[in-house]
Structure formats: structure tokens, C-alpha cells
Amino acid sequence: MQLVDTALAKRAADNRPIQVALFGAGFSARHIANQITRHVPGMRVAIVVNRTPEHAKSILEQAGINGVREISRAQHLDEMIKTGQQCIAHDPDIVFYSRNIDAIIETTGTIEYGAKVALGALSAHKHCIALNCELDATLGPYLQQIATQNNVVYSNSDGDEPGVAMNLSRFVTTLGLKVLWKQRFSPMH
């Protein structure tokens, strides 16, 4: 984890934060926006995209960001990023056509819309972090394949159930123990 912290600190010092687009405006998105805004130097929520723009605006305001503007074109997003202003939108394509968004975080909790967002991001050569275990469970391997083809990262989050389970499994294995949960909790037993 130290390497990530060091890299983020360098980006903050160089005034080159990772520009993040956050999709969704529910519980997870609210906490992620707050966490990034207040506690992650070197990373910045540039835009929140939600089908209800008022909800997107609300989560940025709760994270302490004022003067949020609604935009309707990728060019506007790129201009806002250059001036350091955060914005909201309802059209996901704005993010996909932006030159300055580095990564998207998908938190919608829906499979169909989440798939559109993830595929759009990966096809636009943007990294995609999914906090959508339903999406990851149904399309994760396919999304990983698209990410690999486009030389970007598709990943679930460490804070969501699948990521936490995988990290726990890795940790237990590094202790020299064998993970038995597959056999022990199988519905067939």
C-alpha cells in the first residue's frame, strides 16, 4: 500500500491528480466522494454522473464541494477539469469522450446500466473500478477481457464484498493456511 500512497503524494505535489468520474449517487458513491475529496491527495472526483443530477450534486456538496455545475458535453468536462471545478451530468458519454478522465468508479448497483458504463469506459481506454458486485458476478470475466484488449484496468473494489473476500483469501494463503470456504460452504454439502 505504501507504493500507492507515495504515487498519490507525488501526483498531488505535481498538481496532477487522478481525475475520477463517479457513476451513481447512492450510499457507496456518497462515501467514496467524501473519502476521495477529504482524504486522498492525488485523486480528485471531477464529475458525478447520475440519471438524477440533483442527487449527484448533493453528494458533491456533502463532500464539501460548492459551485458544482451541470454540463452536457465532453468539451465542457475537459474545460472544467482544467479550471479545477467539479461538475455533474446525466449522460455517461460525456465521460467516455473526455480526454482528461483517467478512471471511472461504477457504483450504480444495476447490471444493465452498470454494464453500459463499464463497457463505455473500457472501450474509451479508461480504467474502471466496479463497486457493483452484481455486475462483476455476471459480466466480470468479459469486462476483464475487454480491459485487457484495451490495455486498461478493470477491477472490483477492495471495499466491496468480492474484493474483501479475495484479499482475505490471499492473506490466509500467505500465512501458509489453506482456504476451505469453497468446499465447506458449498450448497452441495
SS3 28: helix
User: Do residue 142 and residue 181 come from a single domain?
Assistant: no
- Give the pTM: 0.83
Under 8 Å CB-to-CB from 164, ≥6 apart: which residues? Answer: 158
Q: Name the percent of the chain lying above pLDDT 70.
A: 90
List the CATH number of the domain containing 102. 3.40.50.720
As a whole number, the mean pLDDT across the chain is 89
Does the CA dihedral 179-140-157-55 come out positive or negative? negative
User: Do residue 43 and residue 122 come from a single domain?
Assistant: yes
- Report which of 164, 156, 153, 102 is spatially closest to residue 133, judged by C-alpha positions: 156
Check residue 166 and give its pLDDT.
75
User: Do residue 126 and residue 172 come from a single domain?
Assistant: no
Under 8 Å CB-to-CB from 98, ≥6 apart: which residues? Answer: 21, 74, 77, 78, 81
User: Do residue 148 and residue 168 come from a single domain?
Assistant: no
Structural contact between residues 87 and 71, judged by C-beta atoms closer than 8 angstroms: yes
Check residue 88 and give its pLDDT.
97
Q: Which of 51-65, 102-116, 160-174 has the lowest mean pLDDT?
A: 160-174
User: Do residue 117 and residue 137 come from a single domain?
Assistant: yes
User: Do residue 69 and residue 143 come from a single domain?
Assistant: yes
Instruction: Inform me whether the pLDDT recorded for 183 exceeds 60.
Output: no
Residue 186 structural domain: 159-189
